[in-house]
Amino acid sequence: MSVAHVKAGSPVRGRRAEGVGLPRIEDELRKQNDRFSAAVENMSHGLCMFDADERMIICNGNYISIFCLNAEIVQPGIRFFDILQHSVDIGVASHSAEELYAIRKPYIDRAKPSTYEETLSDGRIINISHRPLASGGWVSIYEDITEQRRAEQELKEQHRRFDAALANMSQGLLMYDADGRLIVRNERFLELYHVTPADFPLGMSHRDALEQLARLGIYAEIDIDGEISKTAACLQAGEMRSTYRHLADGRTLLVVRQPMSGGGWVATFDDVTERRRVEERMTHLAHHDTLTNLPNRSMFRERLDQALGEATDLAIFSLDLDRFKAVNDTWGHPAGDWLLKCVAERLQRCLRNETDVVARFGGDEFVIIQFNPKGAGDAEKLAKRIVDIIGKPFRDKSRDMHVGISVGIALSPDDGRDADTLLKNADMALYRAKSEGRNVYRFFEPGMDAMVRARRALETDLEAALRRREFELDFQPIMNIASGEIVGAEALMRWHSPARGLVPPDDFIPVAEEIGLIVPLGEWALRKACTVAAGWPHGLRIAVNVSAVQIKSGTFARSVISALAFSGVPANRLELEITETVLMDESDTVLKTLRQLRDLGVRIALDDFGIGYSSLGYLRRFPVDKIKIDRSFIRDIDNRDTAAIVRTVIGLGAQLGTTVTAEGVETEAQLEFLRKEGCVEAQGYLIGIPSKAADIARLLESRAGIRQSG
């Protein structure tokens, strides 16, 4: 409002001054009036003054602005009600003039100051304060508090949200001010620590809070000064810090401290007990074998590298179970898994103390680190203990499982100073142990490296030999002792290597079995033998040696049927020679295959009878068509005990109705002994040497049906 509005109602204008001082007084009053007008006009709030007749005396520009009034209309002397009506006319008021007057009148009439709020039609909120004048009338102060109310509402909403967030947080929370006094605490904190608000009142110092936790016995252990130092370090660094706290009841909390920009800090508390258990479990699984719970290859390697870094003397044991596959195939994988767990337990019992480590590398492979052995003698004692304890039967319900263990040993630093070298050398020693009869231990020797290279070279040459068809079959005749007739021949595999010369079957057949070549090699031999036998005189049988690996392959029966169909040889002319290792396996695949072949008419012969594990037991489990007495018995037949064994086997065959064939017959005396004891068939150099296909065909044609003289 302009100054004129103020001057128009000023009492100074109506005065008359007399005397010499009048101009000075008028000048002073004018100055005061100007000051008053300036003060009123520059107020941050709107102001309006009314006399006892409810007519406006003065108002300022902010009053006109707040209510959007027309300054030409709102002049001194205008009635209060008319101003209200004007505000209604211009659409500012949210009520009629009468309603507005009725609302304001009680406040105006009060003999003491009063304040209330009014909301305009545009939503603005005006705070109105009335103060009565001693001469009658009143002064009103008008303040637009819309933004203030909005800010207050926003702050209230923020508080509501903050309280809701605190109440619904999954973490506990404490907030401390710059002086280390507790200013915020949520319910989750109380729940996590099983405490009450009285235990942790607002205003409590950080030290008092820690001491309270100690008094209540909540933490398994607590270092109060250490906790305060960690908080101070967090604030000094100006960055978040976290740590794990273990409670007395076994739970684990993750405590995170976060400095606040205005000073102080926030601490959150999260129950991570299950998460930590899962993490620990995952870490354990990453470093341990799931079946035996022993350290796995990864953890073993870490421990070995650590020990070597500490320049510790070590003995590395490479272990491999003997005959484990037979157990797995015979009793099934669950039984094999049970056996591996038992082996792991026994190996752990063999260790001297907690420093030694036994790990499972996979399958039936185990490895041991022996720390600080007192030379080779100490390592040898452990190896003997391992071989002895693993060699004892494993009792599972009503059955005994028998396995052995082969052990290779490398010593640090003599046999290597790094993990790779030590493990490689222990493996080479293990290979030597397995090649020398199994269920034994061997120390690494420098020459073993050459042996391993020779073995690898043999494997490579074998694979190439199969591709280049370097294998041949020789045939050795089999004679009926009583009639002297040649009744058939056994096919014997030969490998003529361009580089190695003639390689004995005992050298390459086991290797072929181990590397999986025996299946394709056996299929070739079976088809070749049947094809050759197709050209022999009618009724002569062909005997073919079969590996246990072939029969367990699951495709062997189809291979036999295919060979018979291709060659045209009747099934009853084919004789398959198996060893006791085949009958050791009572799995469905093996027994089903053998029965299927017998149903076809194929004859099954048990080769090398008498030198296996339990020959008579196997005859009971699977009746065979023929028993072949091993050549070692025939060679030593002059020995009374050996002769008794041969005599017993021949008698057993007669009682079972099973043909008995003696292998390795080289003298007339041996043949005569067998004839007198009633042995059915003989095979050996005396009867005929292994010959090529063409030679054996001529021999069979010349001798078939002709009795041996004498």
Q: Which domains does the chain have, with CATH numbers?
A: 3-145 (3.30.450.20), 169-276 (3.30.450.20), 288-446 (3.30.70.270), 457-703 (3.20.20.450)
**Separation of alpha carbons 556 and 592, rounded Å:** 11
**Separation of alpha carbons 417 and 216, rounded Å:** 55
Q: Is the pTM of this model over 0.85?
A: no
**Separation of alpha carbons 31 and 25, rounded Å:** 10
Neighbours of 515 (CB within 10 A): 13
**Separation of alpha carbons 49 and 68, rounded Å:** 18
Report CA-CA distances (Å) from 134 to 51, 107, 486.
10, 16, 153
For 301, list phi and psi in degrees, rounded to 5.
-65, -40
The angle at the Cα of 673, spanning 668 to 678, to the nearest 5 degrees, equals 125
7-21, 134-148, 351-365, 639-653: least confident range: 7-21
Q: Give the pLDDT of residue 619.
A: 67
**Residue 563's pLDDT band (cuts 50, 70, 90):** very high
**Separation of alpha carbons 209 and 68, rounded Å:** 58
**Separation of alpha carbons 124 and 138, rounded Å:** 24
Contact between 29 and 17 under an 8 Å Cβ cutoff? The reply is: no
DSSP alpha helix (H) spans, 613-692: 615-621, 631-635, 640-656, 668-677
**% of the chain residues with pLDDT over 90:** 46
**Residue 309's pLDDT band (cuts 50, 70, 90):** confident
Q: Which residues contact 163 (CB under 8 A, 6 or more apart)?
A: none
pLDDT in tens, 409-435: 999 998 888 999 999 999 989 988 887
3-7, 54-58, 273-277, 670-674: least confident range: 3-7
pLDDT in tens, 492-522: 999 999 989 999 888 888 888 878 888 999 9
Q: Does residue 321 carry a pLDDT above 80? A: yes
Instruction: Output the six-digit token pair for 645.
Output: 């064994």
pLDDT in tens, 584-611: 655 567 778 888 999 999 999 988 776 5
Find, among 1, 18, 16, 7, the residue nearest to 72 by Cα.
Answer: 1
Q: Which residues contact 306 (CB under 8 A, 6 or more apart)?
A: none
Q: Does residue 234 carry a pLDDT above 80? A: yes
* 570 prior amide bond cis, ω within 30: no
